[in-house]
Amino acid sequence: MADKSYVIGVDYGTDSVRSVILDAANGEEIASSVFAYPRWKDGLYCNPLINQYRQHPLDYVEGLEFTIKECLRKAGSIVASGVKAISVDTTGSSPVAVDKTGTPLALTPGFENNPNAMFVLWKDHTSTKEAAEINEHALRFDINYLQYVGGIYSSEWFWAKLLHILRIDDTVKNNCYSWVEHCDWIPFLLTGGTDIHQMKRGVCSAGHKALWAAEYGGLPPNEFFNSLDPLLNGFTSRLFTDTYTADKPAGNLSREWSERLGLSTNVIIGVGAFDAHMGAVGGQIEPYHLSKVMGTSTCDMLVAPMADVKNILVKGICGQVPGSVIPGMMGMEAGQSAFGDTYAWFRNLITNSIKNLLNSSDVIDAATADLLQKELNKKLIKELSNEALKIPLHENDELAIDWLNGRRTPDANQLLEASIMNLSLATDAPHIFKALVEATCFGAKAIVDRFNNEGVPVKGLIGLGGVARKSNYIMQVMADVMNMPIRIHKSEQTCATGAAMFAATAARIYDKVENAMAAMGQGFDREFYPDKTKVELYNKRYEKYKMLGSFIDQ
């Protein structure tokens, strides 16, 4: 064991951060740890009524230290001495205002409780106005600076969020030197960076969210941003020109973090990327197989040889960036703004009122009420799934649109809202849940249709993440709606595993990430095949879904 090499993958999700230590030779999990963000859990700095979702950098820093140290404690000192590299993935686009040293403003005096000085989480939609302005503004230029992000800029992304924060908060505007993605900041933190201009920015975040493209020589010119709003004048000079793929090292572990974690300063820190992109690698993505990372939202990743797609621009997706998933291949991103969040919304719709009733009950004590509430939250989705499975499928069943958090792809529009039709007095909770599940699967099919129609064939489906592993019902509906098999990856932690694979590549244990995937990948343990008796009915319902969606869109 002393001669073995180990790598650490760190995965920052929406609600928590998880770290894993893997044997670099075969991908065996040695230890894992999860840390729920305490401030986020308490609902601090967020206002769902205005779609404001912010996260404090201390949640990230505390979680980073806790999970890695717990993994090392579980694994033992011999494993710790063999750790060669750490790589990180995060949600995105989740940027933050920083000073010249690269420190988030929320970690500086006077900004500790200012939400605008914190990370603007991917699901924050307070900048829909700014996104609309960017889309209109881009039409005035001979060069289409939105061509590599599907032609539509989203309020979930880098520039819209930056402009919104600069407009609404003068104190942040006056102290913000630069703007940094979460996935770029954590490697910078671990390597002890003190100069924002020395930060290595990943091509993943830069290309998919910040309009960086090699064809432009970097970011769009200053004139593009200055003419949009003078607040952005000169801002590109405080950002970056060069970008790096995630198989490259960002640097070595700093002395400070070496002491905090109990690791050597020889440990390599890899360049960061987004969770779905590294998750696709952890889930052993294949060319033209859509890798669906299904959690609170979905991110759908597709890779293709550069020579096959060099002249194709897919409209309405979240970007196509060379090397954003696998270096040397085109990485294409799509997704849905609400997937698991859709089911959680419906669960909460039912249980929140019950919680209030339990807490005011004259029959049971507060401790029992709390236990009952937790049991309901844990069991309700499974119970609804079991009941929905029993409902015979008919063409005119209740029908839903899944835009509870707007529409990510195809054709981003975060102002859109969901709906449910065909309700009657016979409609109960399982019927509505069934409609919501079908809606999320119809939304997934719309993405596949867009790729196919734009000349990028989807030849297979790979399911990753919590929903894929936990819900046989949802995955069976997905296969039926898509009329395609969907393979479910064995790993419980594909994003953290993908980060570990990139760590192994950055440390040169493997010369390319495909070799790390082959050696460390855990394979697939389930596959769902379409029920041919339901395919035609779902096709008819999908056409109704598109008609209802078109009506809402207009």
Query: What's the whole-number mean pLDDT along residues 250-258?
Result: 98
* Banded pLDDT at 355 (limits 50, 70, 90): confident
Using alpha carbons, select from 462, 480, 468 the residue that is nearest to residue 523: 462
In a domain, 307, yes or no: no
Buried-exposed string 410-449: b where 16+ CB fall within 10 A, e elsewhere: bbbbbebebbbeeeeeeeebbbbbbbbbbbbbbbbbbbbe
In a domain, 312, yes or no: no
In a domain, 330, yes or no: no
* Same domain membership, residue 51 and residue 133: yes
Query: What's the whole-number mean pLDDT along residues 275-288?
Result: 97
Question: In terms of residues, how long is the chain?
Answer: 554
Q: Is the pLDDT score of 2 beyond 60?
A: no
Tokens of 146: 């939105």
Query: Residue 393 class from Cβ within 10 Å (0-12 exposed, 13-18 middle, 19+ buried)?
Result: middle
Please list the residues that pair with 35 across neighbouring strands. 17
Give the tens place of pLDDT for each residue, 146-168: 999 999 999 999 999 999 999 99
Q: Is the pLDDT score of 1 beyond 50?
A: no
At residue 3, the pLDDT reads 78
Question: What rounded mean pLDDT belongs to the chain?
Answer: 96
At residue 8, the pLDDT reads 98
Measure the CA–CA gap between 2 and 222, rounded to whole angstroms: 53
* Same domain membership, residue 99 and residue 32: yes
Measure the CA–CA gap between 331 and 325, rounded to whole angstroms: 5
* Banded pLDDT at 492 (limits 50, 70, 90): confident
In a domain, 370, yes or no: yes
Query: What's the whole-number mean pLDDT along residues 284-299?
Result: 95
Give the tens place of pLDDT for each residue, 167-226: 999 999 999 999 999 999 999 999 999 999 999 999 999 999 999 999 999 999 999 999
Cis preceding-peptide flag for 291 (omega within 30 of 0):
no
Helix boundaries (H) for 405-529: 429-453, 466-470, 472-482, 494-506, 513-520
* Same domain membership, residue 11 and residue 99: yes
Angle between helices 158-168 and 128-138 (to 10 degrees): 120
280, amino acid identity: A
Measure the CA–CA gap between 26 and 17, rounded to whole angstroms: 23
* Same domain membership, residue 225 and residue 368: no
In a domain, 58, yes or no: yes
At residue 408, the pLDDT reads 94
Opening angle at CA 505, ends 502 and 509, nearest 5? 135
Radius of gyration of the chain (CA): 23
Query: What's the whole-number mean pLDDT along residues 252-256?
Result: 98
Overall number of domains in the chain: 2
* Same domain membership, residue 395 and residue 484: yes
* Same domain membership, residue 372 and residue 235: no
3-state secondary structure of 333: strand
Give the tens place of pLDDT for each residue, 495-543: 999 999 999 999 999 999 999 999 999 999 999 999 999 999 999 999 9
In a domain, 499, yes or no: yes
pLDDT-above-70 percentage for the chain = 100
CATH of the domain at 115: 3.30.420.40
Phi, psi of 194 (to 5 degrees): -130, 0
In a domain, 302, yes or no: no
At residue 310, the pLDDT reads 85
* Same domain membership, residue 275 and residue 359: no
Q: Model pTM greater than 0.85?
A: yes
Q: Is the pLDDT score of 394 beyond 60?
A: yes
169, amino acid identity: D
* Same domain membership, residue 224 and residue 127: yes
Domain that holds residue 19: 6-283+491-522
* Same domain membership, residue 386 and residue 268: no
Query: What's the whole-number mean pLDDT along residues 348-362?
Result: 89
Helices and strands in the chain: count of H runs, count of E runs = 20, 20
At residue 261, the pLDDT reads 98
Q: Is the pLDDT score of 266 beyond 90?
A: yes
* Same domain membership, residue 187 and residue 38: yes
Query: What's the whole-number mean pLDDT along residues 324-328?
Result: 97
Q: What is the dihedral of CA 204, 207, 213, 219, to 10 degrees?
A: -120
Give the tens place of pLDDT for each residue, 16-63: 999 999 999 999 999 999 999 999 999 999 999 999 999 999 999 999
* Same domain membership, residue 182 and residue 220: yes
In a domain, 303, yes or no: no
* Same domain membership, residue 144 and residue 180: yes
Q: DSSP letter for 315, please.
A: T
Q: Residues 258, 268: contact at Cβ < 8 Å?
A: no
